[in-house]
Each structure stands twice: as structure tokens, then as C-alpha cells.
């Protein structure tokens, strides 16, 4: 890979991720949701009644961040916090009826954003893109970060 092209793939991935998140955030803001709130609600839609710690771990954020977002969603009427039946130190987070109704809007916004992102790609190209992104995600999630800055694995 030429020197000028080093990092170009990561830059494109970052740019596409940022643009898709910005577009989705704009759509969600029209529904009164802020960045990150959708992820908590979708995670609860998959598995209702999770603890804040489990949600934070699943979403890759710090517990104080998740607590602040849960508090906002609770104030908006989308979530309710209930004490654990087995551990009085724990609370479990559940979607309210309003939260469940909002899930449909979130999913619709996600579909619209994905449709815009995939515009101009045929079905085969879309499947290939998903396959490649899954592989990239797997590669990045299964490797410890190397601290040796002299390592240049592309052979240059």
C-alpha cells in the first residue's frame, strides 16, 4: 500500500460510521431521542429487565454514562427502574408501554438510514459489505492492542 493510502480504509470506515450515526441521530431527535438513547432501548427490547451494569457492558460504555441516559429516558417515560427481587443493591431497567411504542419509530429510523447508506448497491454488494464488515469487526474485537509501534504487519 502506498504511503499516502495508509490509514485510508480506517478513515473511510470512521467517516461512514460518523455520517450514518449523524443521520440516524437527526432522525431520532425528531422523535425526542438523543444519541445513545436508542441503543439502550433496543438492547432492552432484545432483553428487558437488564441491570445498568449489564447494559453498560453490552453497549461498551461506562456505568456513569448509562446511568445518566437511563435517568433521562425514565424522565421521558420510556423506561422504569425496578428493584431486584434477589439483590436489594441492584435495579433492573424495563421498557414502559411508551418505550415499546417508540421502538417501532427507532427501528423505522434505522431502516431509513440503512436504506440511504446502501443506495446504489445491489443485493449482492450489500451482502458482501455486511460480510466484510463482520470480518473487520471480528478482527478488531478479537485482538489485543499492540504497544510496539515498530510493528508494520503489511511488510513495508
Q: What was the pLDDT predicted at 127?
A: 96
DSSP 101-132: HHHHHHHHHHHHHHHHHTTT--HHHHHHHHHH
Cβ–Cβ under 8 Å, residues 103 and 42: yes
- In this prediction the pTM is 0.77
Q: What was the pLDDT predicted at 145?
A: 67
Domains and CATH numbers, the chain: 9-140 (1.10.10.10)
Task: Tell which phi-psi region holds residue 32, choosing left (phi > 0), alpha (psi between -120 and 50) or beta.
Answer: left
CA–CA gap between residue 82 and residue 91 (Å, rounded): 5
pLDDT in tens, the chain (156 residues): 555 577 898 999 999 999 999 999 999 999 889 888 999 999 999 999 999 999 999 999 998 889 999 999 999 999 999 998 888 889 999 999 999 999 999 999 999 999 999 999 999 999 999 999 999 999 988 777 665 454 555 554
Angle, CA 68 vertex, CA 47 and CA 37 arms, to 5°: 50
Amino acid at each position: 500500500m502506498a504511503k499516502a493510502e495508509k490509514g485510508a480504509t480506517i478513515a473511510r470506515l470512521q467517516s461512514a460510521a460518523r455520517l450514518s450515526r449523524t443521520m440516524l441521530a437527526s432522525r431520532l431527535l425528531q422523535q425526542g431521542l438523543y444519541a445513545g438513547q436508542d441503543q439502550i432501548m433496543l438492547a432492552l427490547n432484545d432483553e428487558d429487565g437488564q441491570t445498568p451494569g449489564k447494559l453498560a457492558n453490552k453497549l461498551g460504555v461506562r456505568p456513569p454514562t448509562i446511568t445518566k441516559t437511563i435517568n433521562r429516558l425514565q424522565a421521558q417515560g420510556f423506561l422504569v427502574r425496578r428493584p431486584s427481587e434477589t439483590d436489594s443493591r441492584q435495579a433492573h431497567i424495563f421498557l414502559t408501554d411508551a418505550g415499546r411504542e417508540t421502538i417501532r419509530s427507532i427501528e423505522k429510523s434505522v431502516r431509513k438510514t440503512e436504506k440511504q447508506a446502501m443506495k446504489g448497491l445491489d443485493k449482492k454488494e450489500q451482502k458482501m459489505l455486511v460480510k466484510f464488515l463482520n470480518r473487520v469487526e471480528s478482527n478488531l474485537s478479537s485482538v489485543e492492542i499492540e504497544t510496539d509501534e515498530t510493528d508494520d504487519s503489511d511488510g513495508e
